[in-house]
Amino acid sequence: MTVRIPIVNVNGTLSELPAGDTIPSVTGPTGPSVTGPTGASLTGPTGSPGSSLTGPTGPSLTGPTGVAGSSGVTGPTGAVGPSVTGPTGASLTGPTGTYPSLQVSATIVGVASVMVGTARWYPPVTITLIDVTAFANTAPVTTSVIFDVLKNGSSIFSGTFPTITVGNHVGTTVTVSTSVTATDYLTINITQGDAACSDMFLRIRY
């Protein structure tokens, strides 16, 4: 085998090598790692603290109070405002209520037979009769039942009397306007009866 010696130029490039030749790569051993000793840490001495000094407190002084100034002049009183009175509200009066009527009921027990009543009723004060209505528990079957109310023995009606007609329990209402004093009395008559009608009463309102 022919020995081939590479030629290395001074500028570090390879030249004049025969074709196919290579320069062997050689790596030398790594040198030891050396760390020098750490330098000494030095701290200088701490200086002595300075002295603490507090100066004396100054005197507290309050000056004299000044002379009070004179009061200012009082301004004139303003004019009195006008006096205004609003209009008077309307005076309203509600409608007068109607005083409820009172009544006296005269009960007639038994069959409606013709009779002249003797029981008297005296009002406690002077009153005015306004109407009379007749009622029956059992309605008449054959004839109407007719009643009359008398003041001191005289009828208070003028031709029309309270009447319960056949088959009815409530009779007609007859309007009157009769004054009755506390010394007057009322009585009730049946002027026409019916054998089937029974247990009646008259409502006299005043």
CATH topology of domain 116-205: Jelly Rolls (2.60.120)
* Residue owning tokens 């309270």: 162
pLDDT value of position 61: 62
* Residue owning tokens 């006299």: 204
Q: Which two tokens stand for residue 20?
A: 């196919």
What are the CA-CA distances from residue 96 to residues 89, 93, 133, 183 (Å)? 21, 9, 27, 31
Cβ-based neighbours of 62, under 8 Å, separated by 6 or more: none
β-strand partners of 203? 105, 133
DSSP 8-state code for residue 121: B
In angstroms, the CA 199 to CA 137 distance is 5
Rounded mean pLDDT of 80-86?
Answer: 73
Q: For residue 148, is pLDDT > 90? A: yes
* Segment 37-68, tens digit of pLDDT: 776 765 667 767 666 656 677 676 676 777 77
Q: For residue 2, is pLDDT > 90? A: no
SS3 47: coil
What are the CA-CA distances from residue 196 to residues 115, 116, 140 (Å)? 16, 19, 5
Q: Which two tokens stand for residue 80?
A: 């009195």
Q: Which two tokens stand for residue 115?
A: 């009779």
| Amino acid letter, 31 | G
In angstroms, the CA 155 to CA 189 distance is 10
* Segment 176-201, tens digit of pLDDT: 999 999 999 999 999 999 999 999 99
- Least Cα distance to 147 among 112, 122, 182 occurs for 112
**Average pLDDT over all residues of the chain:** 81
* Segment 123-135, tens digit of pLDDT: 999 999 999 999 9
pLDDT value of position 147: 98
